[in-house]
Amino acid sequence: MFRKFIFPAYTRITQNRYSTRQSSERGQLVLAAALICGALGIDTDLTLNYQLFALLLVLLLSARITVRFHKPAILVKRILPRHVSANQKFSYDIVITNIGSRVEADLRIIDEPIVIAPSFRELQSSREPLEETRNFYDRFIGFHRFVWLQRIKTGIRINSAQAEEIPVKGKAKVRIEAEPLRRGFTKFGTTAILYPDLLGMNYGVKRFVNPEQLLILPKRYRINEAFELPGGSSAIPGGTSANWSSGTSDEFVSLRDYREGDSAKKIHWPSSVKRQQPVVREYQDEYFLKQSLILDVHTDNPTLLEEAVSVATSFLLRMTEKNANVELVYCAEKTISVPGNSERTSSSSGQDQQLKALATLQSSTQPFSLLAEFVRSRTRGLTGCVIVCCKWTEEHRQLQKLIESKGVPTTALVIVLPKNSRQPDSNQQIVTESLKSPHCHYLESDTIAETLLSL
């Protein structure tokens, strides 16, 4: 009850907002000296400290007044990367253009993301990492948990930076260091420029409304280079060129003599006339891997959800590196298929759509049977299949068995909680021996990186 009563105050005192003025180190030193002189100079008959107090007070007031009339005439532009990965620090640029008539120096840049505060329900249901190590008062108040949740929901931590001296009509590029804290979209709001007064005692703040958003991809794990993807040695003819045109591949290799059964379309007539015998063009068929990545996120455990998405992202990129045409299949409100290479999109465009889908994916409430039924109709032509899920049931095992019965090699990766933190809930336990499969790997959420390197 008490926590609910003080909850509105948490949002007000933790919003990332700066006052219209901030004191510099020089200003703080002058203020401290003024307070000391004021305290020692109360009795004006015994000391002359009051005169020094008056002088310092005038300096402080003058600095506060001049900061209002010393605003820089500048323009600000943020240059963000296309996307970044969660938990990996990155940097981006802010370009400051001086359009005024004086040189601008000693400018501080503070880029401000849009702060997203958690709801009271989220505060009650979540647990801060290592919260049990805090004292009883901190756990009861819940302020540290609120700050942690707000930081995660905001999605990014941004460091301030100092700009170099900017000449008149010149530009300065400032490097900003940041760290994304979660996957998904994070939104930038304003860019605050702190500029000094004429005496260098205070900083005024000039804000530029600069709304943008940045896509944060799921974190990735390294996979053992020796681990062979299912169907990695198999391929079907056609390749990328078959996706764009009908007929055989256009990859020319050489000319050779005509053999019985060769198509007349392959005859190279200029060479045939010159040699007085049929000569045909020889082509090399292109091969590619057509694989499927199936992601089941039917779970109410946020840790398992995040790890499943990260493992799926890691395998998606690994499969794409092997020149595979990967189809991503998952179930949100409905079953969704995101193709990699297609007739109208390049491979990079298809992969971008898949990574965006993984970055914004949330837990599904739909039954696994809908996803399984969709997958059963799309096994034709597959050379391999990877299944990533948060639990392993009889339905999962039957789907894997069905896919393998079609001659498609399959690997299943099941994300589970560590043994010391599993609950009696069967969804969080390792499956029984009767459900285990030789091509099924169990990854405990706290040792996934080590397990993937040892596969």
Query: Tens digits of per-residue pLDDT, 103-160?
Result: 988 899 999 999 888 888 888 888 888 888 888 888 888 888 888 889 999 999 999 9
Spatial CB neighbours of 395, under 8 Å, sequence gap ≥ 6: 368, 369, 372
Q: Catalogue all structural domains in the chain, each as residue range(s) with its CATH number.
A: 2-116+155-217 (2.60.40.10), 250-284 (no CATH), 288-453 (3.40.50.410)
Q: Which residues of 191-205 are buried (b: 16+ CB within 10 A; e: fewer)?
A: bbbbbbbebebbbbb
* Statement: the pTM of the whole predicted model exceeds 0.85: no
Interval 373-386: pLDDT, tens: 888 888 887 888 99
Residue type present at position 361: L
Q: What is the CA radius of gyration of the chain?
A: 32
Say whether pLDDT at 85 is over 60.
yes
- Bridge-partner residues for 294, per DSSP? 329, 387
Among 296, 291, 287, 305, CA closest to 378: 291
346 pLDDT band, cuts 50/70/90, is very low
Say whether pLDDT at 309 is over 60.
yes
Spatial CB neighbours of 10, under 8 Å, sequence gap ≥ 6: 117, 143, 146
* pLDDT value of position 46: 73
Q: What is the largest CA-CA distance in the chain?
A: 125
Q: How many angstroms separate the Cα of 162 from the Cα of each of 165, 168, 208?
A: 10, 18, 17
Say whether pLDDT at 288 is over 70.
no
Among 221, 235, 404, 226, CA closest to 324: 235
Interval 214-242: pLDDT, tens: 999 999 999 888 888 876 655 555 544 33
Alpha-carbon distance 427 to 395, whole Å? Answer: 13
Say whether pLDDT at 249 is over 50.
no
